[in-house]
Structure 1
Amino acid sequence: MKRTHLPLNGLRVLDAAARHLSFTRAADELAVTPAAVGQQVRALEDTLGVVLFRRTTRGLELTPEGEAGLAPLRDGFLQFEEAVRAMQAGQTSKSLTIAAPRDLSEKWLMPRLAELARRDADLRFALVSADTAPDFTEANLDLAIHWGEGTLGHEGEAIESAGMITVERPGGGAEAAIAWPGCPDHERATIRVADAGLAIDAAAEGLGRATVPELLAARDLAGGRIVATEQARPSRRGYWFIAPLPQWRQKKVQALVAALAL
C-alpha cells in the first residue's frame, strides 16, 4: 500500500501551537518566528483541507477538526522518538564488522583487538578479509582498513607509521629480494609472495630480504624474529581507517579507531 506523504514540519508546528495555544510561544519553542509558525499552520490547513485554529476574543483555540487529530498525532511523535532511540542504540552497541587485508589482520589488528577484548568482555568483532578496496554497498561493514595513498573517497584517517623498512633473518640470510604486490621493484624481485605478511615470514626463514610496512613488521622486530637492515623511511602509501560518513560517525567506530590508534 502506498503511504500518504506526511507534512511532518507542519504537524510538528501544530503540536507546539496546540499545546501553547499561541503562535508566539510555539515559535519560541521551535526557534522560529511567529510568522513562520503561521505560514506552516496555513500550509497544513491547505494540505488537509480543514481549519485547525480560530482566533477568538479570548485568543487562539483549536477547532474540533484540530482537536480530533491531536491525540493520535502526539502518540505518533512518541513512536517516532522510540524509533530514533532504537536506531541510535546501534551506535552504543559493541559489535563491529571490520574489513582488513589478511596480513594486517594477522600481524597488527588481531593482537590489538584481543587486548581490547580482554579489557572489555562485551566487545564483539567480525573480521572480513579485504585485500582490495572494500565494497561498503554490499558488505555490512562498520569500518575498513585499506593500504594505499588515501581514503578512496570515504571518511577516514591514516594509521601512524614510520613508513617502509627492509628486514631479514637475524644473522643474515640469502641475498634474494622478496617482493609482494604493491611493494617497490615487485617485477624484478627474485622471490614473490602474495602479501607483505608472507614477505616478512619468508625473510624470517632466511629466504632473503623484504621491504615491508614498518607497521606490519613491528611485532616481529620486537620479538627478534627479524631484524632491520636500515632505518625505516617515509612512504606515500600506508594503512588507512576508512568508512562512508554514516558509519564513520558512529560512536562505536570512533571509539574503536581511537583505541587502535594508540
Structure 2
Amino acid sequence: MISDLPPLNAVRAFASAARHQSFSRAAEELHVTHSAISRHIRLLEEHLGTLLFERRNRQSLLTPTGRAYYQQVSLGLAQIADATQALTRASAARKVTINVRPSFAVRWLIPRLPDFMAQFPQIQPEVVTSTLAPDPSRETFDVAVRRGSSGWATSLEPNVLFADDLLLVAAPSLLKAIPVQAPTDVLRHTLLSGRTRSADWQTWCRLTGVDQARQQPALRFDHMHLVLQAAVDGLGLALCPASLLGSDLGSGRLCNPLPDLRMPLTRYYYGVPPGAAADTRVFIDWMFSRFQHDSCAP
C-alpha cells in the first residue's frame, strides 16, 4: 500500500550511502550536505524501527539488517528507473516521418505544419523530400504523399488524399504591363515551367485552343517552388497546381488573370508502409482536415 511507504527521499539517500559506504560521497552524488544525508537516514531508521548503519569514527557501516534492506531497496529503485526510462523513450519516440516531393514540402506542407504542431505537440513531424516513387525498402518513412497512383511500391496501397487543379498565375506588375484577358494573350509572355511538369503548357494550350508559337520565350526550373518564385519576381507566366499556391493569391503576390480556366490534375495520394508509427493516422486525418479547411476558405 502507498500509505506503508517510507519517506522516499530518505530511501534514496540511504541507497546512495549504502552503495558508496560513505555519507560524504552520497552527499556529493545527490548534491546535498553531509548533515542532510544523516537526517534522511535517521528519519528512515526511525520509520523502520531499526538501525541501518553502525556509526563509527569517520566511517558508517551497514548493519546486517541494513544490507538486507539495501538489496531489496536497490531492486525497487532500479525498477523505478527502468520504468521512467521506458516511458521517456516512448514519449520521445512519438514521431511521424513524412516523405514528399520538394515542392509539396515547401509550398503545401511546411507552411501548414505549425497548425499540426499546435494541435498535437506530443507528435514530432519529420519531413524528408524525394523525387523518387515511394518505396519503404529504399527509404524509411511513415507516410508518403505523391501525385498519382502509379509507380508505388507493391508494399504500399495508394489512397486518395485530395483533388487539384492547374491555374494560370503571374505577378500583378507583369499583368499590368502586359495584360492577359484571353488565353491567346499568353503568347505575348515568357512561359515558366518545372522540369517535372514540362508538358503543362502544351496541354493547356491544346485545351484552350491556343496555337503555341514555336519560338516563344520560355524558362524551365527543377521544381515548382522555383517556378513560383520566378513568377512572383515577374519573369513570366506560370501554370501552377492550386495546392502549391499557398498564400500567394490571397496576399496579392500573384494573380490569376483567367479564373474560369481551371485544368483538372491527377489527384494526390498517400501511402502507409507496414509497421508505420501509431500516430501516422493522426497526421493523415490532419491532412484531410487541412484540405477541407483550405477548400472552404474564401
TM-score range, shorter chain: 0.5 to 0.7
Q: Is the 8 A contact 2:134 2:144 kept in 1?
A: yes
Identity, % of aligned pairs? 22
- Listed one character per residue, the Cα deviations across residues 24-66 of structure 1 (whole Å, up to 9, x for unaligned) are xxxxxxxxxxxxxxxxxxxxxxxxxxxxxxxxxxxxxxxxxxx
- What is the match of residue 252 of structure 1? 279
> Contact between 2:159 and 2:269, CA under 8 Å: does it hold in 1?
yes
- Cα distance in 2 for partners of 1:213, 1:160 equals 12
CA distance in 1, matches of 2:278, 2:266: 28
Residue in structure 2 matched with residue 65 of structure 1 by the alignment = none
Q: Which residue of 2 aligns with 1:164?
A: 166
Instruction: Give the letter aligned to residue 257 of structure 1.
Output: I
* Count of aligned pairs between the two proteins: 173
Do the aligned partners of 2:192 and 2:238 also contact (CA within 8 Å) in 1? Answer: yes
The 5 A counterparts of 1:42-121 are 94-121=94-121
**Is the CA contact (8 Å cut-off) linking 2:96 and 2:142 kept in structure 1?**
yes
Superposed displacement of residue 222, structure 1: 1.8
Supply the distance in 2 between the matched residues of 1:251 and 1:102 (Cα, whole angstroms): 25
Residue deviations 1:111-155 (CA, integer Å, cap 9, x gap):
222211122221212211112213311322101111335572522
Gaps of 5+ in 2: 1-85, 179-188, 203-213, 290-298
Q: Given the two structures, how large is their TM-score scaled by the length of structure 2?
A: 0.51
Q: Is the 8 A contact 2:168 2:257 kept in 1?
A: yes
User: Taking structure 1 as reference, are residues 185 and 146 closer, same or farther at Cα in structure 2, changes over 3 Å only?
Assistant: closer
Residues 149-205 of structure 1: CA deviation (Å, up to 9, x unaligned): 557252232332441111100143571110112323579771001111111111111
8 Å CA contact 1:112, 1:260 repeated in 2? no
2:231 paired with 1:216: no
Mapped to 1, the partners of 2:254 and 2:236 lie a distance apart of 11
Runs of 4+ displaced beyond 6 Å: 186-189
Question: Please, which runs of 5 or more residues in structure 1 have no aligned partner?
Answer: 1-85
User: 2:234 pairs with 206, 228, 232, which one?
Assistant: 206
Are the counterparts in 1 of residues 133 and 151 from structure 2 also a CA contact under 8 Å? Answer: no
TM-score (norm 1): 0.57
Q: Tell me which of 223, 239, 256 is aligned to 1:228.
A: 256
In terms of Rg, which structure is larger?
A: 2
CA distance, structure 1, for counterparts of residue 265 and residue 150 of structure 2: 9
Q: Which amino acid is the alignment partner of residue 235 of structure 1?
A: P
Instruction: Compare 181-190 and 250-259 and name the one that shifted more.
Output: 181-190
Number of the residue aligned with 1:127: 127
Tell me the distance in 2 between the aligned counterparts of 1:129 and 1:99. 6
- Structure 1 163/246 Cα, relative in aligned 2: closer, same or farther at 3 Å? farther
Q: CA 1:157/1:93 → structure 2, altered by over 3 Å: closer, same or farther?
A: farther
